[in-house]
C-alpha cells in the first residue's frame, strides 16, 4: 500500500493535525494529516483510497483504543481534528462524485438536552469511518429529525441524551420518526440509557461507545 | 451517635456501629415541596423548606446544601438555560467568545446565587447541628470546561500553558467559595468534578492534581473535611484522585465499589457511593432500592464507607425508594432479612401448596429469620411452643428460619412477605406481631373446628354401593342416584366392585348400600326407591 496513506493513518490515530502542531510530541516537526492529504492528492492517489486506506484505518484504531480505555476524549478529539483537516481537502471530490461515502448518518441530542460532547464524538467518529454525517445539534425535536430523514431517506438516525429526564423523549422521537418514515433505523446512546431501554422504546440499536455505532452502521449500510 | 460524628468516624477510618448515609438531594428537594428546579434554585426559602423536608423524610447523616454545578459559572458570565426538572445547563463559554481570562474576577459572597446558598447553610446549621452539611463546589476542571467549552480538551495538547492558567483561576474561585461555605457552617467541602472522567490519568496528573490538591489542603487547614466527587467512567483516575489527598472520594455506579474501596483504603482515604441512580432509584421500586443499598453496604463495609447515591438524585425519584434505603440503613434487622432473601431467592424452588394443610393434624408454621438471633422471631416461636401442649397431639408446629434455603422456598411458596409470620395449615394468620396466647389458641381452635366440620361433612355425604362386579351394582346405583336427585341432596355415590372390600364392611353378598356412618342398610337385594329415599333422608 501507498507509504503516504500508512503515514496518514498514523497521523489520524495519534492526532497529528499539521506540521506546526506540537502534538503528539513524538511526531513534532513532521508532516501532519493536512500536508500528507494534500500531497497524496497531488501525486494522484484516488480520493477514495485516501478515505478508505488512510483516514478510516486511523479512525478505526483510535476508536478501538477508546473503547478499550487506552485513550480518552482529548486524544479522540485530536484524532477527529486531524481527520476533519484531511476531509477539507477531500470534500470537493465527494461533491463531484469522485469519492463516495458509505451512507448517511443523522445525529442529534434529543429535545430538552443540551449536552453535546458524546454526540460530537460519535459524529466525528462516524464521519471518519467514511459516512456523511448530518449533525442537527442539541435540543432537537421529532420534526427536525423527520424533515432530515425525508431529505435523506436511506439515512440511519442517532439519538443522544445525557439526562434521565430527557432520555424519555427518545421514546417519543423514535416512535414519531418510525411513524413518519417507516423502516428508518434508530440507534441510541448516552450515559443513562442501555440495551433494555433501547428495546423498551422500540429503537433498533444501543451502543455504549462511538465505535459501536460505526460497527452498527457498517453492518446495516455498507 | 449523631450523623456528623458518624461521618467523621467513617472519614477517620474508625469502625462504625452503623454505616452513615448521605442522600445527594439537589433539585429533588424542590420536588418534595412541589416547586420546579428553577424556582427551587432561585429561592433560599424553597431550599430551606425542601432540605428540611428531605431531612425529615430520609433521616440523613449528612446532606448537601446545594447541588448546582452552574452557580460559579453563571457569575463568571456563562449563560444558563433553565429547566423545570433539572439543574440549569451552561450554554455559552465566555473564554471562547472573546472574554479574556484576565478580565474575570473571583466571585464575592454577594454575587449570583451565592447568598441563597449561604443563607440556606446558616439556617440548616442552626436547625440541624447534628447533621453533616456538605458544601458542594464546582471542581476546577469542570468549571474550566464551562468557561472554555470542549475546546479545553484539545488545548490540553495545543496550548497547555493556557489551560494551566485557566485551571489556576478556577482553583482560586473554588478556594474562595469553599471558605464562604465553611464560614457559613459547612462541615464537608465536596469538590464535584465530573468532567475529569473524560481524561486520561496522565492528563489528570498534569492538569488537575496540582489544583485539586490545593483546594483539599485549604480545607484541611480550615480544619474541615473534604470529599472528591466524580461521576461517569472515571475508573482510570481513582488512584490519581486519591493522590490529591481529599478525606473522601465518592463515585457513581460506573465504577465498581470494590475497586474504589481497595485503592482508597490502601491510601487511607474513606470512600462513598454508589447506588444506581436511574435503573434503581428513579425507575425501580422500594425493594430494588433496598437490595441495591444493601449490596453497596456489604461491599463498602463498616470502615471508611459512606452510603450515597451515585450522583445528584434525579428530581422525580420516588420518595418511597429513598425512604426504603433510610429504613434499611437504620435497621440491622431489615438488612439481615434483605441479605438472606437476596442470596436465596434466585435459587428458589416454588412448591405447590394446593393440598397443604389437609392432614388430620393442624400444622402451625413459623417463618423466621432465625429465632436465635432475631428477637421478634424468638418471641413468636415461644408463643407457639407455649400453647402447643394445650392441643395434645393435634397441633404440630415447625420453625422455618430463612437462613436455610428450604425455608426461603417455603416462604415464597406460601407467599409470605414479612418476617416473622405464623401460618396455620398453609394460611397466613399472624404477620410481624406476636399474637397474645388467647388469640393464638382461638385461631388454632377455629381451624380445628373447621377441619372437624369438613371431615364430618364429607363422611355424611357419601353412599357406597358394594358388589362383586360393576354390573351387579348397576341397577342399585341408578336407583340411589335417582333418590338423591329427587331429594335434591348433594351426596357422592361411590361404586366399590371388590369382594375384599365387601368383606371388610361385613357384606357377604352384593349389591349393598352403605351410608357414611358405616352402617349397613341392605344386603343381597335391591330395595325400592322409597326405602332408599328414607336412607338418604337420614344422611
C-alpha A63/C-alpha A71 separation (Å) is 9
Q: Which residue of B has its CA nearest to A74?
A: B153
Residues B86, A165: C-beta atoms closer than 8 Å: yes
Indicate yes or no: CB of B198 within 8 angstroms of CB of A194.
no
List the single residue in B154, B198, B314 with the smallest CB-CB distance to A72: B198
CB neighbourhood size of A6 (10 A): 13
Which residues does B87 contact at the CB level (< 8 Å), separation at least 6? B26, B27, B37, B41, B67, B68, B69, B70, B312
Domain of A198 in residue numbering reads as: 104-220
**In chain B, what residues touch A21 (CB-CB under 8 Å)?**
158
Whether residue A135 is found in the same domain as residue A209 = yes
- The closest CB to that of B153, out of A22, A24, A74, belongs to A74
pLDDT band at A1 (very low <50, low <70, confident <90, very high): low
Query: pLDDT tens, B192-248?
Result: 998 898 899 999 999 999 999 999 999 999 999 999 999 877 889 999 999 999 999
Largest CA distance in chain B: 122
Half-sphere exposure of B397 (CA within 13 A, CB side): 23
- Residue B194's nearest CA partner among B155, B269, B236, B138 is B138
> Are A89 and A118 found together in one domain?
no
Which segments of B12-100 does DSSP mark as H helices, in order?
A: 28-32, 37-41, 44-58, 71-75
CA gap B489, B506 in Å, rounded: 27
Q: What is the pLDDT of residues B84-131, one digit of tens each?
A: 988 998 889 999 999 999 999 999 999 999 999 999 999 999 999 999
- Burial class of residue B520, CB neighbours in 10 A (0-12, 13-18, 19+): middle
* Cβ atoms < 10 Å from Cβ of B335: 20
Residue B328: which of B147, B55, B64, B58 has the closest Cα?
B58
If one compares B361 and B67, the residue with the highest pLDDT of the two is: B67
Contact B120/B44 with Cβ under 8 angstroms? yes
From A63, A96, A129, give the residue that closes a domain: A96
Mutation choice for B interface testing from A17, A27, A73, A195 by most B CBs within 10 A: A73
Whether A112 and A79 map to the same domain: the answer is no
Three-state secondary-structure class, residue A176: helix
Strand partners, B133: B63
Same-domain status, A130 and A216:
yes
Compute the distance between CA of residue A195 and CA of residue A203 in angstroms, rounded to an integer: 10
Interface residue ranges in chain A relative to chain B, Cβ cutoff 8 Å: 15, 21-24, 69, 71-75, 77-78, 81, 112, 114-117, 120, 163-165, 167, 191-192, 194
Q: Which residue has the cell 458544601?
A: B135
- Do A23 and A85 reside in the same domain of the chain? yes
Q: Which residues of A touch B142 (CB under 8 A)?
A: none
DSSP β-ladder status, B132-138 and B89-90: unpaired
CATH numeric code, B362-442? 3.40.30.10
CB-CB neighbors (< 8 A) of A23 in chain B? 157-158
Considering the segment(s) B3-330 as one domain, its CATH architecture is Alpha-Beta Barrel (3.20)
pLDDT value at position B516? 63
Domain harbouring A16, CATH code: 1.10.1240.10
Burial of B227: CB neighbours in 10 Å, binned 0-12, 13-18, 19+: buried
* Tens-place pLDDT, residues B316-366: 999 999 999 999 999 888 888 888 776 655 555 666 666 677 677 888 999
Q: B44-58 vs B114-127: helix axis angle to the nearest 10? A: 40
Give me the DSSP letters along B311-364: SSPPTT--HHHHHHHHHHHH-HHHHHHHHHHHHHHTT------TTTT-SSSEEE
Q: For B143-154, b where at least 16 C-beta lie within 10 A, e where not — what string?
A: bbbbbbbbbbbb
Evaluated on CA atoms A165, A166, A170, A175, the torsion sign reads: positive
Same domain, A89 and A109: no
Whole-number Å distance between alpha carbons of B307 and B301: 10
ipTM for the whole complex? 0.79
Pairwise CB contact (< 8 Å): A74 & B200: yes
Please tell me whether residues A114 and A210 are part of one structural domain: yes
- The single-letter DSSP state of residue B157 is H
Do both A78 and A170 map to the same domain? Answer: no
Q: For residue A69, which residues of chain B lie inside 8 Å, CB to CB?
A: 233, 235-236
Which residues on A lie below 8 Å from B198 (Cβ)? 72-74, 117
For B459-538, the fitting CATH number among 3.30.420.40, 3.40.30.10, 3.30.230.10, 3.40.50.970 is 3.40.30.10
Instruction: Name the grid cell of A214.
Output: 460505526
Q: How many CB pairs under 8 A join A and B?
A: 59
pLDDT digits (tens, 9 = 90+) for A124-170: 889 888 899 999 999 999 999 999 999 999 999 999 998 877 888 89
Residues 6+ apart with CB under 8 A from B174: B72, B137, B138, B139, B140, B143, B191, B215
Residue B419 pLDDT exceeds 90: no
Q: Are residues A55 and A128 in the same domain?
A: no
Task: State the Cα–Cα distance between residues A46 and A84, nearest whole angstrom.
Answer: 18
Given A51, A75, A96, the domain boundary residue is A96
CA of B32, closest CA in chain A: separation in Å? 17
Q: Hey, are the CB atoms on A114 and B81 less than 8 Å from each other?
A: yes
Range with the largest mean pLDDT of A61-70, B339-348, B428-437 = A61-70
Summarize pLDDT for B244-284 with one digit per residue, the tens: 999 999 998 888 999 999 999 999 999 999 998 877 898 88
- Per domain, the residue ranges of chain B are 3-330, 362-442, 459-538
Q: In what order do the strands lie in the sheet with B462-467?
A: B492-497, B462-467, B512-515, B520-522
Q: Which among A22, A73, A114 has the least Cβ separation from residue B198?
A: A73
Q: How many domains does chain A have?
A: 2
Contacts of B282 in chain A (CB under 8 A): 164
B538 confidence band (pLDDT: 50, 70, 90) = low
Asked if pLDDT for residue B290 goes beyond 70, the answer is yes
With contacts defined as CB-CB under 8 Å, which chain B residues touch A75? 200
Nearest chain B residue to A80 by CA distance is: B154
pLDDT tens by residue, A9-52 = 999 999 999 999 999 989 999 999 999 999 999 999 999 899 98
CA distance A13 to B30: 47
Mean pLDDT in chain B?
88
CB contact under 8 A, B157 and A22: yes
Q: How far apart are CA A162 and CA A118, in angstroms?
A: 9
Q: Which of A76-80, B72-76, B113-117 has the lowest mean pLDDT?
A: A76-80
> Tens of pLDDT along A173-202?
999 999 999 999 999 998 888 888 898 899
Q: Are B200 and A71 in contact (CB < 8 Å)?
A: yes
Backbone angles phi and psi of B91, in degrees to 5? -120, 0
CATH number, domain with residue A115:
3.40.50.280
What is the spatial distance between Cα B429 and Cα B377, in angstroms, rounded to a whole number? Answer: 15
pLDDT at site B243: 97
Report pLDDT digits (tens) over B479-522.
888 888 877 777 888 888 888 777 777 777 888 887 765 556 77
Tell which of A96, A114, A131 closes a domain: A96
Do residues B440 and B390 touch, judged by C-beta distance below 8 A?
no
A158 neighbors A106 (Cβ within 8 angstroms): yes
Question: Any residues with CB less than 8 A from the CB of A109 and at least 6 apart, and which?
Answer: A115, A116, A119, A137, A138, A139, A140, A159, A160, A161, A162
B456 φ, ψ to 5°?
A: -60, -45
Residue B448's pLDDT is 84
Say how many C-beta atoms besides its own lie within 10 A of residue A211's C-beta: 22
pLDDT tens track for B141-182: 999 999 998 889 989 999 999 999 999 999 999 999 999 999
A117: chain B residues, CB-CB within 8 Å: 150, 198
Can B362-442 and B459-538 be said to share one CATH topology? yes
Report the alpha-carbon distance of residue A204 to residue A123 in Å, rounded: 18
**Chain B hits for A164, Cβ within 8 Å:** 277-278, 282, 314
Amino acid at each position: 500500500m501507498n507509504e503516504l496513506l500508512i503515514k496518514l493513518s498514523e497521523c489520524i490515530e495519534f492526532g497529528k493535525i499539521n506540521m506546526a502542531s506540537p502534538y503528539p510530541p513524538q511526531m513534532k516537526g513532521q508532516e501532519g494529516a493536512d500536508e500528507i492529504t494534500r500531497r497524496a492528492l497531488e501525486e494522484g492517489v484516488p480520493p477514495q483510497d485516501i478515505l478508505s486506506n488512510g483516514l478510516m484505518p486511523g479512525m478505526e484504531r483510535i476508536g478501538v483504543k477508546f473503547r478499550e480505555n487506552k485513550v480518552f476524549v482529548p486524544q479522540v478529539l485530536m484524532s477527529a481534528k486531524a481527520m476533519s483537516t484531511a476531509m477539507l481537502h477531500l470534500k470537493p471530490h465527494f461533491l463531484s462524485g469522485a469519492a463516495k461515502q458509505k451512507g448517511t448518518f443523522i445525529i442529534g441530542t434529543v429535545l430538552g438536552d443540551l449536552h453535546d460532547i458524546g454526540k460530537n464524538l460519535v459524529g466525528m467518529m462516524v464521519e471518519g469511518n467514511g459516512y456523511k454525517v448530518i449533525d442537527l445539534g442539541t435540543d432537537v425535536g421529532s420534526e427536525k429529525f423527520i424533515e432530515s430523514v425525508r431529505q435523506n431517506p436511506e439515512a440511519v438516525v442517532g439519538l443522544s441524551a445525557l439526562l434521565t429526564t430527557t432520555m424519555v423523549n427518545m421514546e417519543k422521537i423514535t416512535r414519531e420518526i418510525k411513524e413518519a418514515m417507516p423502516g428508518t433505523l434508530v440507534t441510541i446512546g448516552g450515559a443513562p440509557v442501555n440495551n433494555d431501554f433501547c428495546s423498551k422504546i422500540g429503537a433498533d440499536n444501543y451502543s455504549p461507545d462511538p465505535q459501536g455505532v460505526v460497527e452498527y452502521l457498517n453492518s446495516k449500510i455498507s | 451517635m449523631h450523623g456528623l460524628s458518624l461521618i467523621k468516624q467513617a472519614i477517620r477510618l474508625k469502625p462504625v456501629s452503623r454505616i452513615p448515609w448521605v442522600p445527594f438531594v439537589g433539585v429533588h428537594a424542590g420536588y418534595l415541596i412541589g416547586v420546579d428546579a428553577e424556582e427551587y434554585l432561585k429561592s433560599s426559602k424553597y431550599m430551606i423548606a425542601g432540605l428540611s423536608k428531605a431531612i425529615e423524610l430520609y433521616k440523613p447523616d449528612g446532606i448537601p446544601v446545594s447541588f448546582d454545578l452552574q452557580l460559579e459559572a453563571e457569575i463568571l458570565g456563562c449563560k444558563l438555560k433553565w429547566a423545570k426538572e433539572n439543574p440549569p445547563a451552561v450554554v455559552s463559554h465566555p473564554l471562547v467568545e472573546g472574554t479574556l481570562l484576565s478580565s474575570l474576577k473571583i466571585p464575592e459572597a454577594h454575587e449570583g446565587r451565592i447568598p441563597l446558598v449561604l443563607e440556606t447553610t446558616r439556617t440548616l446549621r442552626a436547625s440541624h447541628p447534628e447533621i453533616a452539611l456538605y458544601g458542594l463546589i464546582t471542581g476546577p476542571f469542570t468549571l474550566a470546561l464551562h468557561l472554555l467549552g470542549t475546546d479545553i480538551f484539545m488545548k490540553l495538547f495545543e496550548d497547555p500553558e493556557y489551560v494551566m492558567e485557566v485551571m489556576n483561576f478556577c482553583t482560586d474561585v473554588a478556594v474562595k467559595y469553599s471558605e464562604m461555605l465553611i464560614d457559613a457552617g459547612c462541615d464537608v467541602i465536596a469538590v464535584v468534578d465530573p468532567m475529569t472522567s473524560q481524561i486520561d490519568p496522565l492528563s489528570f496528573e498534569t492538569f488537575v492534581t496540582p489544583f485539586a490538591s490545593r483546594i483539599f489542603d485549604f480545607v484541611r487547614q480550615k480544619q474541615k473535611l473534604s470529599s472528591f466527587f466524580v461521576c461517569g467512567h472515571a475508573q482510570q483516575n481513582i488512584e490519581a484522585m486519591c493522590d490529591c489527598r481529599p478525606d473522601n472520594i465518592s463515585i457513581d455506579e460506573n465504577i465498581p465499589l470494590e475497586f474504589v474501596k481497595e485503592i482508597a483504603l490502601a491510601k487511607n482515604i474513606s470512600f462513598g457511593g454508589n447506588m444506581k441512580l436511574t435503573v434503581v432509584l428513579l425507575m425501580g421500586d422500594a425493594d430494588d432500592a433496598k437490595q441495591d443499598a444493601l449490596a453497596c453496604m456489604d461491599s463498602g463495609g463498616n470502615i471508611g464507607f459512606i452510603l450515597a447515591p451515585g450522583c445528584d438524585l434525579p428530581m422525580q425519584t420516588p420518595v418511597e425508594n429513598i425512604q426504603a434505603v433510610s429504613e434499611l440503613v437504620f435497621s440491622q434487622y431489615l438488612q439481615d432479612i434483605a441479605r438472606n432473601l437476596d442470596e436465596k431467592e434466585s435459587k428458589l424452588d416454588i412448591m405447590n401448596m394446593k393440598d397443604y394443610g389437609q392432614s388430620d393434624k393442624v400444622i402451625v408454621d413459623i417463618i423466621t429469620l432465625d429465632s436465635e438471633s432475631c428477637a421478634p422471631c424468638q418471641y413468636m416461636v415461644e408463643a407457639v411452643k407455649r400453647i402447643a401442649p394445650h392441643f395434645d397431639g393435634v397441633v404440630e408446629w415447625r420453625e422455618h428460619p430463612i437462613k436455610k434455603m428450604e425455608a426461603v422456598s417455603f416462604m415464597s411458596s406460601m407467599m409470605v412477605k414479612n418476617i416473622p409470620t405464623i401460618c396455620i395449615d398453609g394460611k397466613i394468620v399472624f404477620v410481624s406481631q406476636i399474637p397474645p396466647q388467647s388469640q393464638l389458641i382461638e385461631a388454632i381452635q377455629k381451624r380445628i373446628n373447621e377441619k372437624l366440620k369438613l371431615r364430618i361433612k364429607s363422611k355424611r355425604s357419601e353412599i357406597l354401593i358394594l358388589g362383586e362386579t360393576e354390573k351387579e351394582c348397576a341397577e342399585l346405583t341408578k336407583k340411589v342416584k335417582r333418590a338423591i336427585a329427587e331429594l335434591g341432596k348433594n351426596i357422592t355415590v361411590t361404586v366399590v366392585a371388590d369382594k375384599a372390600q365387601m368383606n371388610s364392611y361385613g357384606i357377604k353378598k352384593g349389591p349393598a348400600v352403605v351410608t357414611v356412618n358405616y352402617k349397613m342398610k341392605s344386603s343381597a337385594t335391591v330395595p325400592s326407591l322409597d326405602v332408599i329415599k328414607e336412607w338418604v333422608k337420614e344422611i
